[in-house]
Amino acid sequence: MPIKKSLALLIILITIIQVASTIKTYSQEVNSEVNRVIEINENYAKIVDEINISWREVNITQYIPKQYSDTIFIVKAYDENGERSVILEEDEDNIKMVIIGEIKGKIILEVYLIKHLQVLANLYVFQYPLYPILNIMIGECKTTIYYPKETVKVNTIIPLANITKNGRQKVEYYQSPLPQETKIELYTSFEAKITPITVDRINRIVSITQQIYVKDSILIRNLSGGKISKSNGIKLKMPMGTEVKYVSDPLGKLNYFINVTSENLECTVYPRIDIQSGWTYEFTIEYTIPREKYIVEGQQETLNTPINTILETPIKQLNITIEFPSGTKIIQYTDQPKNIMETKIEYQIHKLIAIETKPSALMVTYIPGSMPIKIPTTIIAYATIIIALAASTYIKYKSTRRETKVRREEYIKAIRDSYMEEKDEYIKLKELIKRYGEGEIDRKQYMEGKSKIKAKIENIKRKLTEITVKIESEQAKEKIKEIEEELGKLDALMSRMEELENKKLSKTIRRIEYQRLKDTNEKTYNRIIRRIEAKINELTEIKI
Query: pLDDT for 465-486, tens place per residue?
Result: 777 777 778 888 888 888 988 9
**Average pLDDT score over the chain:** 85
Residue 154: pLDDT above 50? Answer: yes
Higher pLDDT, 152 or 412: 152
What pLDDT was estimated at residue 12? 58
Count CB-CB contacts under 10 A for residue 145: 26
Q: 177 preceded by cis ω (within 30°)?
A: yes
3-state secondary structure of 370: coil
Residue 317: pLDDT above 60? Answer: yes
Q: Which secondary-structure segment (H or E) carries 383? A: helix 377-402
Residues 6+ apart with CB under 8 A from 535: 479, 482, 483, 486
3-state secondary structure of 100: coil
Q: Which secondary-structure segment (H or E) carries 283? A: strand 280-289
What's the whole-model pTM score?
0.63
Q: Which secondary-structure segment (H or E) carries 467? A: helix 443-468
424: left (phi over 0), alpha (psi -120 to 50) or beta: alpha
**Lowest-pLDDT range, 50-64, 72-86, 196-210, 454-468?**
454-468
Count CB-CB contacts under 10 A for residue 216: 21
Arithmetic mean of pLDDT, 143-171? 94
What pLDDT was estimated at residue 8? 56
Greatest mean pLDDT among 321-325, 407-411, 441-445, 535-539: 321-325
Greatest mean pLDDT among 389-403, 470-484, 526-540: 526-540
Task: Using alpha carbons, select from 371, 374, 356 the residue that is nearest to residue 241.
Answer: 356
Residue 3: pLDDT above 80? Answer: no
3-state secondary structure of 444: helix
Residue 506: pLDDT above 90? Answer: no
User: Cβ(313)–Cβ(198) under 8 Å?
Assistant: yes
User: Cβ(105)–Cβ(55) under 8 Å?
Assistant: no
Arithmetic mean of pLDDT, 514-535? 90
As a whole number of Å, the end-to-end CA separation of the chain is 107
What pLDDT was estimated at residue 22? 43
- State phi, psi for 153 to the nearest 5 degrees: -160, 140
Cross-strand pairs, 78: 83, 108
**Lowest-pLDDT range, 80-84, 278-282, 411-415, 420-424?**
411-415
CA 3 vs. chain centroid, Å, equals 71
Query: Where do the structural domains in the chain lie, given as residue ranges?
Result: 29-192, 197-391, 403-540
| CATH topology identical between 29-192 and 197-391 | yes
What pLDDT was estimated at residue 475? 84
Residue 20: pLDDT above 90? Answer: no
What pLDDT was estimated at residue 146? 97
Q: Which fold has domain 29-192?
A: Immunoglobulin-like (2.60.40)
In the structure, what pLDDT confidence band is assigned to residue 456 with cuts at 50, 70 and 90?
Answer: confident
User: Cβ(33)–Cβ(141) under 8 Å?
Assistant: yes
Arithmetic mean of pLDDT, 491-500? 89
Query: pLDDT for 401-426, tens place per residue?
Result: 444 555 677 778 888 888 888 989 99
Residue 70: pLDDT above 50? Answer: yes
Q: What is the DSSP track for 142-153?
A: EEEEE--TTEEE
In the structure, what pLDDT confidence band is assigned to residue 144 with cuts at 50, 70 and 90?
Answer: very high
Q: Which fold has domain 197-391?
A: Immunoglobulin-like (2.60.40)
Residue 216: pLDDT above 90? Answer: yes
Q: What percent of the chain has pLDDT over 90?
A: 46
User: Cβ(246)–Cβ(253) under 8 Å?
Assistant: yes
In the structure, what pLDDT confidence band is assigned to residue 25 with cuts at 50, 70 and 90?
Answer: very low
Which amino acid, 207? S
Distance (Å, whole) CA 525 – CA 69 = 32
- By the 10 Å C-beta count (0-12 exposed, 13-18 middle, 19+ buried), 92 is classed as exposed
Question: Rounded to whole angstroms, what are the CA distances from 231 to 136, 282, 487?
Answer: 51, 17, 21
Residue 394: pLDDT above 60? Answer: no
Q: Which secondary-structure segment (H or E) carries 51? A: strand 45-58
Arithmetic mean of pLDDT, 229-257? 92
3-state secondary structure of 170: strand
- State phi, psi for 144 to the nearest 5 degrees: -120, 130
Residues 6+ apart with CB under 8 A from 128: 38, 45, 47, 68, 113, 116, 185, 186
Q: What is the DSSP track for 186-215?
A: EEEEEEES---EEEEEEEEEEEESSSEEEE
Distance (Å, whole) CA 428 – CA 265 = 44
Arithmetic mean of pLDDT, 57-73? 93
Distance (Å, whole) CA 145 – CA 536 = 45
Arithmetic mean of pLDDT, 42-67? 92
Q: What percent of the chain has pLDDT over 70?
A: 86
Arithmetic mean of pLDDT, 345-362? 85
Residue 6: pLDDT above 70? Answer: no
**Lowest-pLDDT range, 1-10, 68-77, 80-89, 113-122?**
1-10
3-state secondary structure of 394: helix
Provide the pairing of β-strand 295-296 with 252-253.
unpaired
